[in-house]
Structure 1
Amino acid sequence: MKRRTFGLGLLAGLLAACGGSKFRSYNGPEVTSVVVNKGTGRMYLLHHTEILKEYDIYLGFAPAGPKQFEGDGKTPEGTYLIDRRNPNSAFHLSLGISYPNAQDMAFAESQGKRPGGDIFIHGQPNNDKKAGKKANWTAGCIAVKDREIEEIYAMVRNGTVITIRA
């Protein structure tokens, strides 16, 4: 019995040391904004004007130009909010972006189309970890590595402004 208890304790200790949970905690400065630069493929988490963290990103499969219509594969450009969290995402973890806004919807409607939606910052796909190794494989979202989305998920709160630049 002692041997089994020791073995289970050792296993639990190893799992904890390996960071078995995808949920992290963060106690640093508040992330006051997120800035995405599509042209350089970088995302920045800022506390006012100070860069706290920066990441390489993957974008929509048609990265040039702003998202305008459902299915165009483009990542939006403009200012939005982080408006939701998905701990059970098909892409490890994800943070929702408030696209489309009123202007996005009005433009799409004026063209007789739908603006699309469900734009997220997310990790790698749960069912195909190889997909994340290809450039620009998402359908309009902003993707990072799983370990990075864990960090971002802990740092960024709902209501944080996100600016996505060309």
Structure 2
Amino acid sequence: MRRRDLILSTAAAVALSGCAGSSKFRRYDGPEVTYVVVNKGARRMHLLHHASVLKSYDINLGFAPVGHKQFEGDGRTPEGVYRIDRRNPNSNFHLSLGISYPNVNDVALAKAMGKSAGGDIFIHGQKNPFRRDSKDWTWGCIAVANEEMEEIYAMVQDDTLIALNA
């Protein structure tokens, strides 16, 4: 009985010690990110301070990545200039930063097609960090690894411009 208790308590201590110092919320005190640029074709996202690239990331997009998002459920990632307009620290995808899609033009385009433009387009992490996601698996969002999302979440502030290019 003692040996079993010793093994269980040791296993619990090891498991808890891994959690003690880790937080998904990081601090960033470098240059301000003034612009986010997403190059959909190259599957790259760049965080810029004016004209200087601070960091770049490989990304995954919507499951139908070619072309501008036209309506809810089309699997496309929007194209154009938007803003980071909200933060979700309790995201189902680790952490997420909201993109101000849809704008007035997006709504009008979808309405002309008899559809809803949708919304809830985010830069986010992975749902399951232990599984390697296939390329372009989101419903129109921009996905990165969870560790990268922690860095992005700390660096990019609300109201930062984001350009999504083909």
Provide the TM-score with structure 2 as the length reference: 0.87
Moved more, 27-36 or 107-116: 107-116
- Distance apart, 1:111 and its partner CA: 1.6
- Distance apart, 1:112 and its partner CA: 1.3
Determine what percentage of the aligned residue pairs are the same residue: 64
- Distance apart, 1:113 and its partner CA: 1.0
Structure 2 segments unaligned to the other structure (5+ residues): 1-9
Instruction: Write out per-residue CA displacement over residues 104-149 of structure 1, whole angstroms, 9 at most, x where no aligned residue.
Output: 00111112111111000000014x742x521111110000000000
Structure 1 segments unaligned to the other structure (5+ residues): 1-6
Moved more, 83-92 or 133-142: 133-142
SS in 1 for 2:107: helix
- Provide the residue aligned with 1:81 in structure 2: 83
Measured in 2, the distance between the counterparts of 1:121 and 1:24 equals 17
Measured in 1, the distance between the counterparts of 2:123 and 2:65 equals 15
Which of the numbers 25, 30, 49 marks the counterpart of 2:32? 30
- Provide the residue aligned with 2:155 in structure 1: 155
Matched, 1:92 2:94: yes
- Provide the residue aligned with 2:4 in structure 1: none
Residues 12-161 of structure 1 correspond to what in structure 2 (within 5 A)?
15=19, 19-126=21-128, 129-130=130-131, 132-161=132-161
Provide the TM-score with structure 1 as the length reference: 0.87
SS in 2 for 1:117: coil
Would the alpha carbon gap of residues 12 and 124 (structure 1) be closer, same or farther in structure 2, given more than 3 Å must change?
closer
SS in 2 for 1:133: coil
Code of the aligned partner of 2:138: T
SS in 1 for 2:85: strand
Measured in 1, the distance between the counterparts of 2:99 and 2:59 equals 15
Measured in 1, the distance between the counterparts of 2:133 and 2:46 equals 21
Measured in 2, the distance between the counterparts of 1:12 and 1:115 equals 44
Paired residues, what number? 155
Q: CA RMSD in A?
A: 2.0
- Distance apart, 1:13 and its partner CA: 7.3
SS in 1 for 2:149: helix
- Provide the residue aligned with 2:5 in structure 1: none
Code of the aligned partner of 1:144: V
Measured in 2, the distance between the counterparts of 1:143 and 1:11 equals 28
Code of the aligned partner of 1:59: L
Code of the aligned partner of 1:133: D
- Distance apart, 1:157 and its partner CA: 0.2
